[in-house]
Amino acid sequence: MITRRGFMKLFGGSFASFAALGSYGFAVEPLARLNVARYRLTPPGWTPGLKLRIVALADLHACEPWMPASRIVSICERANALKADVTVLLGDYASGMNLVTRYVHSSEWSKALATLEAPLGVHAVMGNHDWWEDRAAQQNGGGETFGHRALAGAGIEVHSNRAVRLEKDGFGFWLAGLEDQLALRPGKIWSRRRMTGLDDLDGTLRQVTDDAPVILLAHEPDIFATVPSRVSLTLSGHTHGGQVRFVGHSPVVPSRFGNRYAYGHIVEEDRNLIVSGGLGCSIAPIRFGVPPEIVVVDLG
For residues 62 and 278, the answer to whether their CB atoms sit within 8 Å is no
Distance CA 149, CA 95 (A): 17
For residues 292 and 278, the answer to whether their CB atoms sit within 8 Å is yes
Instruction: Give this prediction's pTM.
Output: 0.89
DSSP 8-state class, residue 105: P
DSSP 8-state class, residue 25: I
Distance CA 199, CA 299 (A): 26
Q: In a structure prediction context, what are the per-residue pLDDT tens digits for the chain, which is 300 residues long?
A: 444 344 334 334 443 333 444 445 555 655 658 999 999 999 999 999 999 999 999 999 999 999 999 999 999 999 999 999 999 999 999 998 899 999 999 999 999 999 999 999 999 999 999 999 999 999 999 999 999 999 999 999 999 999 999 999 999 999 999 999 999 998 654 455 578 999 999 999 999 999 999 999 999 999 999 999 999 999 999 999 999 998 888 898 999 999 999 999 999 999 999 999 999 999 899 999 999 999 999 999
CA torsion sign for 73, 78, 84, 89 is: negative
Beta strand segments in the chain, E: 35-41, 52-57, 63-64, 86-89, 102-103, 122-124, 157-158, 162-168, 171-177, 214-217, 231-236, 264-268, 271-275, 293-299
For residues 223 and 239, the answer to whether their CB atoms sit within 8 Å is no
Amino acid at 108: E
Which backbone phi and psi does 76 adopt, to 5 degrees?
A: -65, -35
CA torsion sign for 97, 101, 105, 108 is: negative
- In DSSP notation, 207-240 reads T--SSS-EEEE-SSGGGGGG--TTEEEEEE-SSG
Distance CA 101, CA 89 (A): 25
- pLDDT (0 to 100) of residue 1: 44
Distance CA 83, CA 200 (A): 31
Q: Give which of 37, 68, 41 is closest to 237, Cα–Cα.
A: 37
